């Protein structure tokens, strides 16, 4: 489902409920993307609130500026949430009332063939959020050994048949380098057994593409770095809400929130991760794997 802004915010009602927004608050949206969550947050913290928007993708930041404008209560940062301390220092803030992370990729990024995120859209194998940084998917696919590729698919993608897929990639690139998303998707589809493939709801390349993307963007490390820093900036009662779409990400979120709870920084208002409603999944299938977790800073912490 696409809106005018091109990305339907996932679990919007749940995000708004669990951030416990009020006018006058200072809120960070660390993965602002198309600004769907941000727009509704802004409505609730005005008047008097401040919204700090971050995205690693320069194009996303430009679209956010076009959407919300150069207004006094919204600040934009082309930055990684791993660097939240630097962003807040630059914004002149040492306390905030809440932070949201809606991890992964937006429909806008997925829809742009030149970004190379989608196996359904022929394009170059790029997959970097920040095109000024790090290796591309093409470099990994054409340079890594079969062993290394297999463990990437297994560890970051929970990918069955990782070894077969890795071998098929190495075999194919002997003939000529793999340069495009659709070529890679075809190679992966050809490597998994047909009968298994027919039992799956998702394309066999889904998990392998996600594994490559998570690796090249160092997504798990960024998440860890965010959790190393965020709690000390929260005002008492301030909340962190995180939506993860990948089991490796959700494991980190769960572990880091539990650790913060057991060291007395936060309480966890909801014990179990919150999933989207069936109605939302029917309306927006992209929300299917979303899991939302919440932490609230204790008055006595720090």
Ligand X SMILES: C[S@@+](CC[C@H](N)C(=O)[O-])C[C@H]1O[C@@H](n2cnc3c(N)ncnc32)[C@H](O)[C@@H]1O
Give the full edge-to-edge strand order of the sheet including 26-29. Answer: 74-78, 50-55, 26-29, 96-102, 234-244, 291-297, 266-267
How many residues touch ligand X under the rule CB under 6 A: the total is 25
Smallest distance from the beta carbon of 6 to ligand X, in angstroms? 8
Stretch that binds ligand X, among 76-84, 131-139, 155-163, 191-199 (CB under 6 A): 76-84
Smallest distance from the beta carbon of 108 to ligand X, in angstroms? 7
Tell whether residue 138 is a contact of ligand X (CB under 6 A).
no
Tell whether residue 31 is a contact of ligand X (CB under 6 A).
yes
Q: How far apart are CA 91 and CA 78, in angstroms?
A: 13
Site for ligand X in 203-242 (CB under 6 A): 219, 222
Smallest distance from the beta carbon of 284 to ligand X, in angstroms? 11
The distance in angstroms from the start CA to the end CA of the chain is: 43
Residue 94: burial class (beta carbons within 10 Å; 0-12, 13-18, 19+): exposed
Tell whether residue 9 is a contact of ligand X (CB under 6 A).
yes
Tell whether residue 81 is a contact of ligand X (CB under 6 A).
yes
Contact code string over 107-136 relative to ligand X, x by CB under 6 A: ----------------------x-------
14, 16, 21, 37: which one binds ligand X (CB under 6 A) = 37
Q: How far apart are CA 19 and CA 270, in angstroms?
A: 12
26, 106, 162, 287: which one binds ligand X (CB under 6 A) = 106
Smallest distance from the beta carbon of 13 to ligand X, in angstroms? 13
Q: How far apart are CA 253 and CA 100, in angstroms?
A: 12
Tell whether residue 256 is a contact of ligand X (CB under 6 A).
no
Stretch that binds ligand X, among 30-38, 119-127, 196-204, 276-284 (CB under 6 A): 30-38
Contact code string over 268-297 relative to ligand X, x by CB under 6 A: ------------------------------
Tell whether residue 102 is a contact of ligand X (CB under 6 A).
yes
Helix (H, G, I), strand (E, B) or coil at 7: coil
14, 55, 97, 126: which one binds ligand X (CB under 6 A) = 55
Stretch that binds ligand X, among 50-58, 118-126, 172-180, 263-271 (CB under 6 A): 50-58
Identify the bridge partners of residue 96 per DSSP, sorted by sequence position: 234
Q: How far apart are CA 106 and CA 9, in angstroms?
A: 9
Tell whether residue 80 is a contact of ligand X (CB under 6 A).
yes
DSSP codes, 202-257: S-THHHHHHHHHHHHTTHHHHHHHHHHHGGGGEEEEEEEEEEE-SHHHHHHHHHHH
CA distances from 15 to 6, 128, 177 (A): 19, 27, 43
Stretch that binds ligand X, among 74-82, 88-96, 234-242, 249-257 (CB under 6 A): 74-82
Helix (H, G, I), strand (E, B) or coil at 55: strand
Q: Which long-range contacts (CB under 8 A, 24 or more apart) does 144-148 make?
A: 145/170, 146/170
Which residues here bind ligand X, judged by CB under 6 A? 7, 9, 30-37, 54-57, 60, 80-82, 102, 104-106, 129, 219, 222
């Amino acid at each position: 489902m696409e809106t005018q802004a091109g990305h339907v915010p996932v679990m919007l009602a749940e995000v708004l409920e669990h951030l416990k927004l009020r006018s006058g608050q200072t809120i960070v949206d660390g993965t602002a993307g198309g600004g769907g969550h941000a727009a509704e947050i802004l409505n609730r913290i005005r008047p008097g609130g401040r919204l700090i928007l971050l995205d690693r993708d320069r194009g996303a930041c430009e679209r956010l500026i076009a959407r919300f404008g150069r207004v006094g209560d919204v600040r934009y940062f082309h930055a990684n949430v791993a660097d939240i301390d630097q962003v807040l220092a630059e914004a002149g803030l040492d306390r905030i009332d809440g932070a949201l992370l809606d991890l992964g990729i937006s429909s806008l990024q997925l829809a742009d063939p030149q970004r190379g995120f989608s196996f359904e859209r022929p394009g170059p194998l790029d997959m970097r959020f920040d095109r000024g940084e790090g290796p591309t998917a093409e470099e990994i696919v054409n340079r890594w050994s079969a062993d290394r590729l297999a463990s990437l698919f297994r560890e970051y993608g929970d990918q069955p048949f990782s070894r077969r897929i890795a071998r098929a990639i190495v075999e194919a690139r002997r003939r000529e380098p793999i340069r495009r998303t659709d070529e890679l998707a075809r190679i992966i589809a050809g490597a998994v057994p047909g009968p298994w493939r027919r039992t799956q709801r998702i394309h066999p390349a889904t998990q392998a593409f996600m594994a490559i993307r998570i690796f090249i963007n160092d997504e798990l490390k960024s998440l860890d770095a965010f959790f190393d820093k965020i709690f000390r900036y929260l005002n008492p009662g301030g909340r962190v809400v995180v939506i993860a779409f990948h089991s490796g990400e959700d494991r980190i979120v769960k572990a880091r929130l539990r650790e913060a709870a057991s060291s007395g920084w936060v309480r966890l208002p909801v014990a179990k991760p919150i999933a989207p409603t069936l109605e939302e999944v029917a309306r927006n299938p992209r929300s299917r794997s979303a899991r939302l977790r919440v932490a609230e800073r204790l008055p006595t912490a720090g």
